[in-house]
Amino acid sequence: MAQATSTLPNLEQFNCDGDPTSVGSRWEKWKRALEIYLLAASIDTPAKKRATLLHLGGIALQDVYYNLPGAHAEEGEGIDVYAIALDKFDSYFAPKQSRIYERYLFRLMKQEEGEQFEKFLLRLRNQAEKCKFQNKEEHIIDQITQKCLLIDLRKKILEYGDAITLDEIISKANALEVVTRQLDQFKSFNTINENKYNKAEINTIYNKKKYDKSIRKQESNTKCSRCGSSTHLSEDSKCPARDKRCSKCGYIGHFREHCRTRQK
């Protein structure tokens, strides 16, 4: 047995001093984890189960245990010391609450943004257990219909009416969530492609402008700035405009059409 327990990770110690309004639900969850641990570790005698409970629970839980009247029962024939300890802890951590209040909390529950349907359903199930509904699934279906985020799921529920079951709702909700994720991926993929296309188009326009500018610059370097001829440059002594006076600026050396002096 020592070999079996050594391979199992320990539970976190139970926090006795946490939020008093949630201590009951926290105790139920910790107790459930303890039961799983005991089963996995093959701890099956009442005395060893009680010892494991106190060991894993921590010092604070041990202090509560030894101050609860009747919690520490002596071993004897027909006496389950572990069950007695659990019963005392249940009475201490999980006092009975009003069903009216628990149902009020149930009616406030809604699916939060980004919350998966399965997690929303789990919260509803846990709270419904405290409400003591005669038909628990019917109330869960009502709450899903009113407070789920999947509009298409609400339509399906209303379409099927009273004939729909909770299992059918769960199946349809899971299918709709898968489709929603796939559509989001398609949308994201299309956005990425559009951005790539726009960037490529901008680069093409930029490169074309750059090319046109380069061509114009090359053309200006291969033409005479005095007369505009492409057969010689402005340094050529045979340029017909070399000795001509510009009628625009009055300077000698170029035609009026190629004057670069601004008139004032």
What single string gives the DSSP state of each residue in 105-163? HHHH--PPTT--HHHHHHHHHHHHHHHT-SSHHHHHHHHHHHH-S-HHHHHHHHHHGGG
96-107 b/e with 16+ CB inside 10 Å = b? eeeeeebbeebe
Whether the CB-CB separation of 13 and 58 falls below 8 Å is answered with yes
Residues 119-159 pLDDT 10s: 999 999 989 988 889 999 999 999 999 999 998 999 989 99
Report pLDDT for 138: 94
Report pLDDT for 188: 65
- β-bridge mates for residue 252, sequence order: 245
- β-bridge mates for residue 245, sequence order: 252
- Give the residue carrying structure tokens 């006496």: 79
Q: In this structure, what token pair is assigned to residue 188?
A: 């994201």
Cα-trace Rg, the chain = 42
Q: In this structure, what token pair is assigned to residue 84?
A: 């007695």
Report pLDDT for 197: 62
User: How far is the C-alpha of 121 from the C-alpha of 116, rounded, in Å?
Assistant: 9
Report pLDDT for 1: 42
Report pLDDT for 193: 61
User: How far is the C-alpha of 235 from the C-alpha of 225, rounded, in Å?
Assistant: 9
How crowded is residue 43: how many other Cβ atoms within 10 Å of its Cβ? 19
Output DSSP code: residue 238: T
User: How far is the C-alpha of 93 from the C-alpha of 82, rounded, in Å?
Assistant: 16
User: How far is the C-alpha of 186 from the C-alpha of 22, rounded, in Å?
Assistant: 42
pTM of this prediction? 0.50
Which residue in 176, 174, 171 sits closest to 151, CA to CA?
176
CA distances from 104 to 125, 132, 135, 184, 190 (A): 15, 12, 16, 36, 45
pLDDT < 50 regions, the chain: 1-4, 262-264
Report pLDDT for 262: 42
